[in-house]
Amino acid sequence: MAQHTEVRLVDDLDGSDAVETVTFAVDGKALEIDLSEAHAAKLRDVFAPFVAAARRAGGSAAPGRSPGATAAAPKRDVGEARAWLLASGYPVKDRGRLPEPWLADFEAKSPNPPTAQPAEAKPKAGRGRKKQDKHSAGAAEQGTSGKSAAVDDGKVVQFRSA
């Protein structure tokens, strides 16, 4: 069985055919009303002097956008950007976020790779050195004098054994 649904706008003032829905706000309440062409014109005429003297208060200029919404950043082909940056001499890694200045260079097709590689990351503060066992390169070696010497990062440390 087929159904046919028809939606008809009806003027909220007199029940005649309406041609539009007018949206407005009064005392902080957003309102809408379905009106015929004549009633919509009459409403706008009545509001005209008040609208002319009023100031805009926080509403959005574009319907359907929430206040404070920003336009989405354009979609980028990150794979293409990565390939171009790599070919242009940038130290690009296989994964991770690409710095914005690099992406700007890619979009402008103007290579300007960094001259020096970034320094290796230093260990986070509060993290001690790993303990080394007797099989590791920095293990203590017993000397004949009863002193032990430990080699750690190229430095020789001597201490007395008890």
Q: Per-domain residue ranges for the chain?
A: 8-59, 78-108
> Shortest CA distance to 85 belongs to which of 117, 109, 59?
109
pLDDT at 119: 54
pLDDT higher at 141 or 61: 61
CATH class of 8-59: alpha beta
Bridge partners (DSSP) of residue 17 are 10
Written as six digits, the tokens of 87 are: 């070919």
DSSP 86: H
pLDDT over 60 (residue 159):
no
Quote the Cα angle for 50-52-53, to 5°.
65
pLDDT over 80 (residue 137):
no
Residue with tokens 């007018």: 22
pLDDT at 124: 60
Among 42-51, 65-74, 101-110, 114-123, the range with the most confident prediction by mean pLDDT is 42-51
**Neighbour-count burial for 57-68, b at 16+ CB within 10 Å, e otherwise:** eeeeeeeeeeee
Percent residues over pLDDT 70 in the chain: 60
Kindly report, residue by residue over 41-94, the tens digit of the pLDDT.
999 999 999 989 988 877 555 555 555 555 556 667 888 888 988 898 899 888
What is the pTM assigned to this prediction? 0.36
Radius of gyration of the chain (CA): 37
pLDDT higher at 24 or 149: 24
What distance in Å separates the CA atoms of residue 92 and residue 126, rounded to the nearest whole number?
30
pLDDT at 6: 84
What distance in Å separates the CA atoms of residue 42 and residue 14, rounded to the nearest whole number?
14
pLDDT tier, 144 (very low <50, low <70, confident <90, very high otherwise):
very low
State how far the alpha carbon of 83 is from the alpha carbons of 74, 94, 99, 116, 130, in Å: 19, 10, 14, 20, 38
